[in-house]
Chain A
Amino acid sequence: MTPPARLGPHVLDIDCAAEAERIATWMVNAVGGTLHRRGVIIAMSGGVDSSVCAALAVRALGTKKVYGLLLPERDSSHKSADRGVLVADHLGVTYELQDIAPALQAIGCYRQRDEAIRVVFPAYADDWKCKIAIAGGAKGGINFFKLIVQSPDGQLQEARLPIREYLQIVAATNHKQRIRKTVEYYHADRLNYAVIGTPNRLEYDQGFFVKNGDGAADIKPIAHLFKTQIYALARHLGLPDEVCNAVPTTDTYSLVQGQDEFYFALPYQQMDIALWAHNHAVPASETATALGITEEYTRFIYADIEAKRRTTHYLHARPLLVEPVAEIGD
């Protein structure tokens, strides 16, 4: 693709009215025509992605065909559930709140995660907080993960996570997304509804989702949109200010964790432009100027985008078969 004359936030401008209409029309055809479902399920975290998806669903199908789910757990921010209720009430959708902490407890999510944490920090207890942050790669090194914990007195400690403990923490934490999806599909099955997945383009492209967790869905109405564009849609659709102004977090760990700490190389406003620029073959020098970062770091980001595409390709892949079952087709 030909690079634009000048790179800047304007490359992500969209006609919000037209885009909202396009998505709404598409949703009617996808849900009713392709999938033959009667409505949609939307898990509402209070974040901008799920809020915009809910608003688009209401616009497309009406409030009676949209069923909202609020699914907090032990480590969720209270603000998330509050914003989820705010959005559901604002849109007028029927919703249900189900605390999934007991289910996560039963399946061993918290125990398995904390077991791994205690290998690194033996004193870690229930009243401590934790998060994971990525390190190394951005400085030209090899990526590794740091575990950051906070004791009740507020003291922070951090250490590199050995591979076994890193994988166990991620695997245990992935229960959260998978349990949520289990609940969503329960309601989808009982109502004969389709499940909405809410990844934005950066998350979809870069594999920032859990296989058979938040990666599972029947429709993904905003997977083609950059986060910047989703915020624009949120304002256009008249969503509450608290949603339109919220900073994205993973809302997965008890310490607040930005997506750029854990997975992406930059905050979303810059990462959107970097991804767009990379997709449009913009030279690193030009992107670096536009983003106010070094050309070396821009080249790292471009390489990181490609590396993440490669390593997360399997998250999108269908199950592999020995040979095609022709009658099932694609």
Chain B
Amino acid sequence: MQDFKTPLRKFIEDNFMMGSNGPVFTDADSFMERRIIDSTGFLELVLFLEETWGVTVDDDDMVPENLDSLDHLQSYLSRKLHP
């Protein structure tokens, strides 16, 4: 199974936490609840997904179940790229 979590964790740490010195978060942690990513941040995340893996994130895909944790993102990208 392709690993999306590692590059995603690095992206989140580099972009939203100024490196890995920010708060520790687990793969299951909600970005919204932990306040790691705000609303503009989710749009940056979507751009990262589209540019890195060539997926198209549809309007209907913009839901927490797809984007709001590393676990959710892993599942979402797996479905999009390996249906």
Contacts and interface: CB of A to CB of B under 8 A. Distances in A.
A adjacent to B, CB under 8 Å? yes
Contacts of A163: 40, 43-44, 46-47
A142 B73 CA distance: 14
B15 to A, nearest CB: 11
Contacts of A162: 43, 46-47
B79 interface: no
Contact of A136 (B38, B47, B59): B59
B54 to A, nearest CB: 14
A307 interface: yes
A142 B63 contact: yes
B64 interface: yes
A310 interface: yes
Which secondary structure dominates where chain B touches chain A? Answer: helix
Given A310-B35, A311-B38, A144 B63 contact: no
A135 interface: yes
A279 interface: no
B4 to A, nearest CB: 18
B40 A141 contact: no
Interface string A132-172: 00011100111111000000000000001011101100000
B67 interface: yes
Interface string B37-69: 011101110110000000000010011100110
A118 B39 CA distance: 24
Q: How large is the interface on B (under 10, 10 to 19, 20 to 34, 35 or more residues)?
A: 10 to 19
Given A307-B38, A310-B35, A311-B38, A140 B63 contact: yes
A215 to B, nearest CB: 18
A137 B47 contact: no
A216 to B, nearest CB: 22
Nearest to A144: B62
A142 B40 CA distance: 10
Contacts of B68: 142
Contacts of B63: 140-142
Interface in A292-325: 307, 310-311
Contacts of A167: 40
Contacts of A307: 38-39
A164 B39 CA distance: 14
A135 B59 contact: yes
Interface of A: 135-137, 140-145, 160, 162-164, 166-167, 307, 310-311
Given A144-B46, A145-B43, 7 more contacts: A142-B39, A142-B64, A142-B68, A143-B39, A162-B43, A163-B44, A163-B46
